[in-house]
Amino acid sequence: MIAQLTKSERQLALIILLAFTICGLAMAIAGRQDPLGVHGAIVMLAGIAGIFGVIYVYYEPEPDEGRLALYYDDPTKVAIILAMIWAVIGMFIGDWVAWQLVFPNLTFDAGWSSFGRIRPAHTSAVIFGFGGNGLIGTSLYVLQRTSRARLPDQISPWFVLLGYNLFCLLAATGYFMGVTQSKEYAEPEWYADLLLEIVWIVYFVIYMRTLARRKEPHIYVANWYYMAFILVVAILHTVNNLAMPVSFGHAKSYSAFSGVQDAMTQWWYGHNAVAFFLTSGFLGMMYYYLPVRAGRPIYSYRMSIISFWGITFMYMWVGSHHLHYTALPQWVQTLGMTFSLMLLIPSWGSAGNALLTLNGAWHKVRDDATLRFMMVAAVFYGLTTFEGSFMAIRSVNSLSHYTDWTVGHVHAGALGWVAMITFGSIYASVPWLWKRERMYSPALVEWHFWLAVAGLFTYVFAMWNSGIIQGLMWRTYNSSGTLSYSFIETVIAMKPYYVARAVGGFFFFAGAVIGLYNIVMTIRTAGQPADERAADRPVAQPTGVPALQPGE
Amino acid sequence: MGLFGLHYKLERKTMSLAIGIIIAASIGGLIEIVPLFTIHQTVEDSPDMRVYTPLEIAGRNIYIREGCYACHSQMIRTLRDEVERYGPYSLAVESKYDHPMLWGSKRTGPDIARLGGKYSDEWHVKHLTNPRDVVPESVMPPYAYLTRAKARIDDLGLHLAALRKVGVPYTDEMIANASNDAYGQTTPDTPFAEGVTKRYGEATNVRAFDGQPGEPTEMDALVAYLQILGKLTDAAHKAKTAAAGE
């Protein structure tokens, strides 16, 4: 793979890797009394490993010009494998953390393994590790196909992919050491945030440069969503992570904002991480893979436009619904609730557009587990966005907030929508990328699908029950006008649901393990030159892929 | 159709599309967040509000490190059952010096915005060492190692200085004496302890929180922090009394 780089690209890679090594060394020295030092060592080792990797092939012959007539898919291949590895790690930790609520001594009397430290390791590994790698991998794939242009160079995609995974690694290892900003879904500290900032700018530049080289007059819908994902995540990340480090030798920093302003900024970020990372990005995925796999054009071009701009504009208002009845001024709460309700229109626009696209291809949904993953994803996208708007209503939120209902809602979205569309897209991509006729075992794809569905329903139903029961118990009064239940009584009532949730999580995790195995075996089986994908090349050629047409 | 025709042109121009996305996505945040910094009533005035002592900051950082906020909120909502269960609802001013805020989003355990003074130090130490010793059905993880770990207090001056840069009114004297004050807060009846009350007020808790005087442990720091929750200002209790008097 590295041998695919040209001489000058190999040199550039060495310079970048050397810069990483030096930064890592500086961090290791400055932070020798602090967890920062460990992270410095990790960065340095990553840099050195990369240097060895490049030097190993440095004098290999350069790739021939023929490569320019093909799409550059090596980063996508690696991203997909990394996504699946992070999925297995993240879901394993997730199930472990779920069992800790049943057996609280599963920490083994250590600091690194306690609930509060491994919970962000779970969320970051699945959202950023699994989701992020899935997005980067598929976006580069989709970008090239819908533009019919090859990526502009062979270094920047690797910088984005590997730099991003270094960020994920710093995040995950940091939590075990107790390095966290405590801002949900923005836990990594200042130096990891700076790394992500640079990576993200390069990611955007790749997008702009490739689009500038496109052979199609129109930018396809999927790319609007991927662009919104990249741009808006950059804005959110920059503002919410403004902080003052204790020193250059400390991992610890203090948020630039405090109290109520910090809370609002955090949930403006937090909910829009859901919107632009977990929704826009994955809608980009859906708008490409679902129509291609179904062999049907997108149902409505106009619905795509309305949904896209509705989501991009309205989502940014809704973060304050996380702060109903708090010390946040009421006018902000009311705005958040109002926009949350309006948001249902573009959300259902997208979900409906996806499901109507399947009209005429339902027999494929029945027979093809890959397409079925995508169909379930669209259904759960619709269900979760409805539930989200409902929970944003102040009076509903007074019951649901602080309970497992929120956790159930998040997982309906994360397992039902994000993971399902990603698995579907990955199962579609793997045979295309590695030029295989099909997955190693379609039966295992079915197994994965049904385990995922069983896990999803078990999990979500358990959390609906526990959340609503606990919320009601907290507010139950007896006939003498005092509260009926002590807090611990409401914890005891949760136990059966915590067990059910952990079992459901295990099903979902087991499905991901099967998926990883199936993908690895697909790659290891001998490839066949797939004639029907011979048209899969840059530069305009008439192809029969209906999804790529601008619509009307 | 006009608008769709316009879009038909827009989606052919990369830069225009990017700028359109940035504008559409910026409006909500600008309208909801910027006024929170400019409208004065957003945060109540409370002249008696005090800053955290260096030891309490160290304890707060342990609270953050261990991810306690994942299960405990520090935000009592304006709902009858919450006020009756936890105490007066939280005011914005109470987290004015909280960089970052720790309002939380989940109550796997109870809200602890008004935990300070509710239980003895001894209870906290027992509970943190093994929660099931005092609450048999608790699902909280044990934190026995906090008693064994010495708190890092030599760099607390840097922490206070960083906090001052983001707006917390620490004085030069507080910053210069940060490490000594952290030591002093766990060693009553020494000159170090006098410095703490002089700089942070007579009401500051000065005692061996984990029961062992001398070098503060992480348990000392965390308990010192837990015992100050809801005690930095009387504003919430005053607001309640004023409302009852009307």
Pair B222, A111: CB distance under 8 Å: no
Alpha-carbon dihedral angle through residues B156, B158, B164, B170, given to the nearest 10 degrees: 40
Pair A280, A221: CB distance under 8 Å: no
pLDDT band at A109 (very low <50, low <70, confident <90, very high): confident
* A243 and A154 belong to one structural domain: yes
**CA-to-CA separations, A149 to A80, A133, A134, A210, A463, in angstroms, rounded:** 21, 22, 21, 7, 46
- Map out the domains of chain B with their CATH numbers: 2-42 (no CATH), 54-245 (1.10.760.10)
Task: Give the residue from A55, A70, A85 where a domain finishes.
Answer: A70
Q: Which of residues 117-136 of B touch A (CB under 8 A)?
A: 131-132, 135
ipTM of the complex: 0.95
Across A15-27, average pLDDT: 98
Distance, in Å, from the CA atom of A362 to the CA atom of B187, rounded to the nearest integer, reads 74
Report the percent of chain A where pLDDT is more than 90: 92
Helices and strands (H and E) in chain A: how many = 21, 2
**Hey, which residues does B217 pair with through a beta bridge?**
B150
Mutation target among A103, A219, A257 for the B interface, most CBs of B within 10 A: A257
Is B107 in the A-facing interface, judged by CB distances under 8 Å? yes
Identify the closest residue of chain A to B67 by CA–CA distance. A116
Q: Which two tokens stand for residue B183?
A: 């030591």
Distance, in Å, from the CA atom of A58 to the CA atom of A8, rounded to the nearest integer, reads 10
Confidence (pLDDT) at B213: 84
Distance, in Å, from the CA atom of A389 to the CA atom of A344, rounded to the nearest integer, reads 7
Pair B14, A219: CB distance under 8 Å: yes
Whether A154 is covered by a domain: the verdict is yes
Q: Which two tokens stand for residue A465?
A: 């029950």
Residue A128 DSSP class: I
Task: Give the residue from A70, A101, A131 where a domain finishes.
Answer: A70
pLDDT at B115 over 60: yes
Confidence (pLDDT) at A544: 43
Alpha-carbon dihedral angle through residues A544, A550, A551, A552, given to the nearest 10 degrees: -120
Q: What are phi and psi of A401, to 5 degrees?
A: -65, 145
Confidence (pLDDT) at A529: 60
pLDDT band at A505 (very low <50, low <70, confident <90, very high): very high
pLDDT at B68 over 80: yes
**How many CB pairs below 8 Å do chains A and B form together?**
266
Residues B168-222 have pLDDT tens digits of 999 999 999 999 999 999 999 889 999 999 999 999 999 999 998 889 999 999 9
Indicate yes or no: CB of A492 within 8 angstroms of CB of B109.
Answer: no
* A431 and A363 belong to one structural domain: yes
Q: Among A393, A112, A411, A188, which residue's Cα sits nearest to residue A278?
A: A411
Identify the closest residue of chain B to A248 by CA–CA distance. B158
**CA-to-CA separations, B181 to A73, A256, B176, in angstroms, rounded:** 59, 25, 10
pLDDT band at B63 (very low <50, low <70, confident <90, very high): very high
Q: Is A77 helix (H, G, I), strand (E, B) or coil?
A: helix
Residues A68-87 have pLDDT tens digits of 999 999 999 999 999 999 99
Do the annotations mark residue A324 as ligand-binding? no
Across A437-444, average pLDDT: 95
Identify the closest residue of chain B to A495 by CA–CA distance. B139
Distance, in Å, from the CA atom of A419 to the CA atom of B217, rounded to the nearest integer, reads 43
Alpha-helical segments (H) within B72-217: 80-86, 121-129, 131-134, 145-148, 156-165, 172-176, 178-185, 191-200
Residue spans of beta strands (DSSP E) within A35-161: none
Q: Which residues 6+ apart lie within 8 Å of A291 measured at CB? A: A297, A298, A357, A546, A547
Is B237 in the A-facing interface, judged by CB distances under 8 Å? no
Distance, in Å, from the CA atom of A45 to the CA atom of A508, rounded to the nearest integer, reads 34
Whether A532 is covered by a domain: the verdict is no
The CB density around residue B53, as the number of other CB atoms within 10 Å, is: 27
* A315 and A447 belong to one structural domain: yes
Q: How far is B189 from chain A (nearest CA, A)?
A: 31
CA gyration radius for chain A?
24
Q: What is the CATH number of the domain that holds A365?
A: 1.20.210.10
A244's enclosing H/E stretch is: strand A243-245
Pair A333, A320: CB distance under 8 Å: yes
| Chain A residues with CB-CB distance to B21 below 8 A | 224, 227-228, 231-232, 312
Q: What are phi and psi of A187, to 5 degrees?
A: -70, -35
Report the percent of chain A where pLDDT is more than 70: 96
Q: How many CA atoms lie within 13 A of A55 on its CB side?
A: 9
- Mean pLDDT across chain B, nearest whole number? 94
Whether A484 is covered by a domain: the verdict is yes
**Hey, which residues does A394 pair with through a beta bridge?**
none
* A159 and A41 belong to one structural domain: no
* A199 and A50 belong to one structural domain: no
pLDDT at A91 over 90: yes
Across B73-99, average pLDDT: 97
Q: Which of B14, B36, B135 sits opposite A260 (nearest CB)?
A: B36
Cis peptide before A152 (omega within 30 of 0): no
* A153 and A4 belong to one structural domain: no
Q: Which of B31, B71, B135 sits opposite A115 (nearest CB)?
A: B71
Identify the closest residue of chain A to B92 by CA–CA distance. A327
Whether A332 is covered by a domain: the verdict is yes
* A98 and A65 belong to one structural domain: no
Indicate yes or no: CB of B137 within 8 angstroms of CB of A492.
Answer: yes
CA distance between the termini of chain A? 40
Confidence (pLDDT) at A204: 98
The CB density around residue B165, as the number of other CB atoms within 10 Å, is: 14
| Chain A residues with CB-CB distance to B143 below 8 A | 111, 114
Q: How far is A437 from chain B (nearest CA, A)?
A: 35
Alpha-carbon dihedral angle through residues A340, A345, A351, A353, given to the nearest 10 degrees: -160
Whether A535 is covered by a domain: the verdict is no
Determine the distance from the C-alpha atom of residue A17 to the mean position of all C-alpha atoms in its chain, rounded to a whole number.
Answer: 26
Mutation target among B78, B107, B118 for the A interface, most CBs of A within 10 A: B107
Give the count of domains, chain A.
2
Q: Among A304, A108, A141, which residue's Cα sits nearest to residue A221?
A: A304
> Rounded to the nearest 10 degrees, what angle do helices A344-357 and A330-342 cross at?
20
**Hey, which residues does A254 pair with through a beta bridge?**
A244
Whether A220 is covered by a domain: the verdict is yes
Indicate yes or no: CB of B98 within 8 angstroms of CB of A247.
Answer: no
Task: Give the residue from A70, A86, A114 where a domain finishes.
Answer: A70
Pair B153, B58: CB distance under 8 Å: yes
Q: Which of A184, A245, A483 sits opposite B81 (nearest CB)?
A: A483
Q: Which of residues 22-41 of B touch A (CB under 8 A)?
A: 22, 24-29, 31-33, 36-37, 39, 41
Whether A453 is covered by a domain: the verdict is yes
Whether A546 is covered by a domain: the verdict is no
Mutation target among A203, A223, A224, A246 for the B interface, most CBs of B within 10 A: A246
Tell me whether strands A253-255 and A243-245 are parallel, antiparallel or unpaired. Answer: antiparallel
Identify the closest residue of chain A to B101 by CA–CA distance. A259
| Chain A residues with CB-CB distance to B105 below 8 A | 184, 322, 401-402, 406
**Hey, which residues does A244 pair with through a beta bridge?**
A254
pLDDT band at A547 (very low <50, low <70, confident <90, very high): very low
The CB density around residue A210, as the number of other CB atoms within 10 Å, is: 22
pLDDT at A549 over 50: no
* A65 and A78 belong to one structural domain: no
Residue whose structure tokens are 């953390």: A97
DSSP letters for A88-143: HHHHHHHHHHHHHTTSTTTTTT-STTSHHHHHHHHHHIIIIIIIIHHHHHHHHHHH
Distance, in Å, from the CA atom of A459 to the CA atom of A504, rounded to the nearest integer, reads 5
* A273 and A367 belong to one structural domain: yes
Distance, in Å, from the CA atom of A423 to the CA atom of A514, rounded to the nearest integer, reads 11
Identify the closest residue of chain B to A108 by CA–CA distance. B142
* A420 and A515 belong to one structural domain: yes
Distance, in Å, from the CA atom of A135 to the CA atom of A493, rounded to the nearest integer, reads 39
Distance, in Å, from the CA atom of A422 to the CA atom of A515, rounded to the nearest integer, reads 11
* A344 and A421 belong to one structural domain: yes
Q: Which residues 6+ apart lie within 8 Å of A461 measured at CB? A: A500
Confidence (pLDDT) at A108: 85
Q: Which of B21, B90, B131 sits opposite A227 (nearest CB)?
A: B21
Residue whose structure tokens are 């054009």: A297
If 0-12 CB within 10 Å is exposed, 13-18 middle and 19+ buried, where does residue A356 land? Answer: middle
**CA-to-CA separations, A499 to A97, A243, A494, B109, B142, in angstroms, rounded:** 12, 39, 9, 17, 20
Q: Which of B4, B94, B142 sits opposite A105 (nearest CB)?
A: B142
Q: How far is A521 from chain B (nearest CA, A)?
A: 39
If 0-12 CB within 10 Å is exposed, 13-18 middle and 19+ buried, where does residue B112 land? Answer: buried
pLDDT at A542 over 60: no
pLDDT band at A534 (very low <50, low <70, confident <90, very high): low
* A293 and A367 belong to one structural domain: yes
Q: Which of residues 148-207 of B touch A (CB under 8 A)?
A: 155, 158-159, 162-163, 165-168
Confidence (pLDDT) at B56: 98
Q: What are phi and psi of B138, to 5 degrees?
A: -65, 150
A521's enclosing H/E stretch is: helix A495-524
DSSP letters for B191-245: HHHHHHHHHH-TTS--S-TTS--SS-BHHHHHHHHHTTTT-S-SHHHHHHHHHHH
Confidence (pLDDT) at A1: 80
Residues B134-169 have pLDDT tens digits of 999 999 999 999 999 999 999 999 999 999 999 999
Is B18 in the A-facing interface, judged by CB distances under 8 Å? yes
- Mean pLDDT across chain A, nearest whole number? 94
Do the annotations mark residue A411 as ligand-binding? yes
pLDDT band at B22 (very low <50, low <70, confident <90, very high): very high
pLDDT at A515 over 50: yes
| Chain B residues with CB-CB distance to A178 below 8 A | 65-66
A34's enclosing H/E stretch is: none
Range of the domain at A190: 71-527
Mutation target among B103, B132, B154, B170 for the A interface, most CBs of A within 10 A: B103
Indicate yes or no: CB of B32 within 8 angstroms of CB of A320.
Answer: yes
Across A374-402, average pLDDT: 97
Residues A471-486 have pLDDT tens digits of 999 999 999 999 999 9
